[in-house]
Amino acid sequence: MDWPAFSLSPLANDIRKSVSLKIKYYGVRGSLPTSGGEFTRFGGNTTCCYVQYKDTKIVIDAGTGIRILGLDLMRSELPKTGGRIHMLFTHTHWDHIQGFPFFVPAFLPNVTLDVYGQTKTVPGLDGEDEVWTIEKALKMQQHFIYFPVGTKYMSSNKTFHEITPESKFRIGEVDVSCFSLHHPNATLAFRFDAGGKSFVFSTDVEHNAEMIEKLAGFCKGADVLAYDCQYTTAEYDAGKIGWGHSTYEHGIQICKGGGVKSLHMIHHDPLHSDNTLDQMQVDAKKIFPTTEMIPEGFEFSL
């Protein structure tokens, strides 16, 4: 198959020569994608984050933002040289997996795709418990009743790895740690340590006193915490309790408790316009000046 000729994006040029821990957010919207003029600055794609250290490529979640990441990677040397991509899933709610069928590198036979996720036992439709691995969840999303192209047609060399909240492992020179978060059917936070720098990705979490304390310990000394700030406190208190999400005030508590340098606000509510997110950032910075409301496409190095 011939791919269109693209010029190398700034990301593609920079990541090949970078020896820092480099992160780019390809999707920062929560629950479902959004579009329209009021969402243009912060974007409408759902969760996907890319982490690279030297030649190690790590993808967190496969929301709709992963489609754009795939196109960026196709502009790099990946189609010619092949390579290995590691894909970590926080959980398998739709806004975190729905872009996977559109991730072009997964269709390349010279690409090795390592997929990491939890195995969960959940109630089935008939009331009997069912065991779902990350492999089963992704395959069923592409069942022919839902989608015309099954995972068997994704020609990359795929290996599926089971991880747990206690998992600690190394990918290349990156140390990865996992942590269980409070959310319907649970989700995982990930901590990445490399080159003396630390990045924590913690989305889809509902706060309580115990969670705040434990997550602060997990984040201790990190450079950046990317945290689920879907609601304002007023919204949360007015009817969002039990929905599985958090606020920037509680993200700030975690940063202060764990000595985290910066808070990145992610998983934006689909009802929150650019103006709403701007105001949330202003309010958050009054409490914790190193807080940033993250737009889609934001990238930085540690």
Q: Quick one: average pLDDT of 244-270? A: 97
Domain architecture of the chain: domains with CATH: 10-291 (3.60.15.10)
Q: Quick one: average pLDDT of 18-39? A: 92
- The whole-angstrom separation of Cα 26 and Cα 62 is 10
* 3-class SS of residue 120: strand
* Burial of residue 285, with CB atoms counted within 10 A of its CB: 0-12 exposed, 13-18 middle, 19 or more buried: middle
Task: Report the alpha-carbon angle 43-96-28, nearest 5.
Answer: 25
Among 10-19, 75-84, 292-301, whose mean pLDDT is lowest?
A: 10-19
Give the closest residue to 111 by CA, choosing from 85, 138, 87, 139.
85
**pLDDT tens digits, 131-157:** 999 999 999 999 999 999 999 999 999
Q: For residues 248 and 263, is the Cβ–Cβ distance under 8 A? A: yes
DSSP at 297: T
Q: Quick one: average pLDDT of 100-120? A: 97
Q: Give first-to-last CA distance, the chain, whole Å.
A: 37
Q: What confidence score (pLDDT) does residue 138 get?
A: 97
Q: Quick one: average pLDDT of 99-108? A: 98
Residue 78 pLDDT exceeds 80: yes
- Global model pTM greater than 0.75: yes
Give residue 12's pLDDT band: very low, low, confident or very high (50, 70, 90): very low
pLDDT-above-90 percentage for the chain:
89
* Burial of residue 299, with CB atoms counted within 10 A of its CB: 0-12 exposed, 13-18 middle, 19 or more buried: middle
Q: What confidence score (pLDDT) does residue 10 get?
A: 46
Provide φ and ψ at 202, rounded to 5°: -135, 90
| Angle of the 66-74 helix axis to the 10-17 helix axis, nearest 10 | 70
3-state SS of 177-225 is: EEEEECCCCCEEEEEEEECCEEEEEECCCCCCHHHHHHHHHHCCCCCEE
pLDDT-above-70 percentage for the chain:
94
